[in-house]
Amino acid sequence: MDRRFFLKSSGVALASLGVATTSPSFLARTLAQTKTTGRRKTLIVIFQRGAMDSLNAVIPYGEQDYYNLRPGIAVPRPNNDKQPNNPAALDLDGFFGLNPALASFKPIYDSGQLAIVHAVGSPDTTRSHFDAQDYMEAGTPGVKSTTDGWLNRYLQARPDKTASPFRAVAMGANLPRTLQGRAPSLAMNNISEFNVRAGGGQASTVVQGGFEAMYEQSVNEALRGTGRETFDAVKMLKRVNPSQYQPASDALYPRGKFGDSLKQIAQLIKSDIGLEVAFTDIGGWDTHANQGAGQGQLANRLLEFSTGIAALHADLKERRDDVVILTMTEFGRTAKENGNRGTDHGHASCMFLVGGNVNGGKVLGKWPGLKNSQLYEGRDLALTTDFRDVFGEVATRHLGANNLSAVFPGYQINRTNFRGIIRS
């Protein structure tokens, strides 16, 4: 056997093999196909992980029971200046008030572009963070076998072969449960670092091409599919360059990961990159001890949360009619404060919705009350709105979906249950 000959001939064979196997799939798809032009409706989902204490965020100050249940952590009634170190709630409608740390929500609420749904959540009884987040993101309370998330199923239900790789984007290193599934979705830490970095322009392009070709060949489906999504996105991002869109002067994002994520979502929207669903999250809501009232641990979280959303709202001034911001948290917390001036895992919580077409300036939903007999299992805020009806209304009236039966399997989305969150 002549080794040299062998080398040469196998080289030829490999070269032809390479062309044959690679051309049909990834070379054939060109970015020219992707539809990115123009404005489109976008939904921004913010998950407050850890279970926000809704009763201290949107305070039912009209209920004496609130004050009876929470002697150590209650937020005082509006215009109460008897406690100088304990700032009072900001009145919304004569019954509910905002935690003073949510002050930046007040002008948006007053302008009719922020609505609150109270006593909302998952009907499942679990008080496990893990399960409750799982159920809320999967959109199937009580069913653990669901493999994909409801946002992903929404994308699946409205298939779009020419969709941008940026149709669904999660800011962060990992794809959240709600975006996992068959429909392509992106996870990214930072848009300016979303590329192959091999030191130097041309070399990076070459190395990127090598990676792309290899991932296209992987026998592991997850790696192959994820690789493909990655490289499509990298190329498109380079072309569109969203980083050129700087925040509006009155959009003051809070420092840190949450503010950065929101800022980048705004950049993606402004660059018309085809973003339809954006996701980010903010942690630190599991306030079992010393949560404070209008100041303190919970208030600090609320401050970052609300100034971030208010900045995003300001930043998207020209596009507010296209965007709805929807917040969620896995469950609420006990109505009664615990022994450590904190609150334990509860049941219903509240959601905030912000946008030009949000039917705002209102606290929506039915208020169940805080009397002992009105509490869920005698301890938690009862549930009067199923979170799927909120998602359903936003998907239908804002994003324009017609059929949600596949998005929320086992649940009948009924328009009569819609709370009137989106102007029709």
**Pairing of the two strands 114-121 and 362-364:** parallel
Among 31, 206, 366, 371, binds other proteins (CB under 8 A): 206
Contact 323, 259 (CB under 8 A): no
With residue 354 as reference, give the H or E element that holds it: strand 349-354
Site residues for other proteins, 147-186, by CB under 8 A, read 172-175, 180, 186
Site residues for other proteins, 58-97, by CB under 8 A, read 71-72, 85-86
Q: Does 3 bind other proteins (CB under 8 A)?
A: yes
CB-side exposure of 129: number of CA atoms within 13 Å?
Answer: 13
Q: Does 28 bind other proteins (CB under 8 A)?
A: no
- CB under 8 A: which stretch of 192-200, 264-272, 320-328, 391-399 binds other proteins? 192-200
Site residues for other proteins, 383-422, by CB under 8 A, read none
Compute how many residues bind other proteins; rule: CB under 8 A: 90
Q: Which is nearer to other proteins, 289 or 406 (CB)?
A: 289
Site residues for other proteins, 323-342, by CB under 8 A, read 337-342
CB of 31 to other proteins, least distance (A): 16
Among 68, 189, 374, 417, binds other proteins (CB under 8 A): 189
Contact 408, 150 (CB under 8 A): yes
- CB under 8 A: which stretch of 91-99, 240-248, 291-299, 386-394 binds other proteins? 291-299
Site residues for other proteins, 292-311, by CB under 8 A, read 292, 296-297, 300-301
Tell which residue, 267, 273, 213, has the closest CA to residue 245: 267
Tell which residue, 68, 69, 64, 67, has the closest CA to residue 380: 69
Backbone angles phi, psi at 386, to 5 degrees: -80, 130
Q: Does 233 bind other proteins (CB under 8 A)?
A: yes
CB of 67 to other proteins, least distance (A): 14
Among 10, 372, 405, 412, binds other proteins (CB under 8 A): 10
Q: Does 12 bind other proteins (CB under 8 A)?
A: no
- Interatomic CA distance for residues 285 and 49, integer angstroms: 6
Residue type, 88: A
Beta-bridge partner residues of 271: none
Q: Does 258 bind other proteins (CB under 8 A)?
A: no
Q: Which is nearer to other proteins, 34 or 230 (CB)?
A: 230
CB of 296 to other proteins, least distance (A): 7
- Interatomic CA distance for residues 166 and 183, integer angstroms: 12
CB of 74 to other proteins, least distance (A): 11
CB of 222 to other proteins, least distance (A): 5
Q: Which is nearer to other proteins, 157 or 196 (CB)?
A: 196
Q: Which is nearer to other proteins, 283 or 410 (CB)?
A: 283
Q: Does 374 bind other proteins (CB under 8 A)?
A: no
Q: Does 281 bind other proteins (CB under 8 A)?
A: no
Residue type, 44: I
- Interatomic CA distance for residues 345 and 350, integer angstroms: 14
Q: Which is nearer to other proteins, 198 or 399 (CB)?
A: 198
What are all long-range contacts of 130-137, with beta carbons under 8 Å and residues at least 24 apart? Answer: 132/51, 132/330, 132/331, 133/47, 133/49, 133/177, 133/330, 134/177, 135/330, 136/47, 136/178, 136/328, 136/330, 136/387, 137/47, 137/176, 137/177, 137/178
Distance from CA of residue 413 to its chain's centroid? 21
Q: Does 319 bind other proteins (CB under 8 A)?
A: no
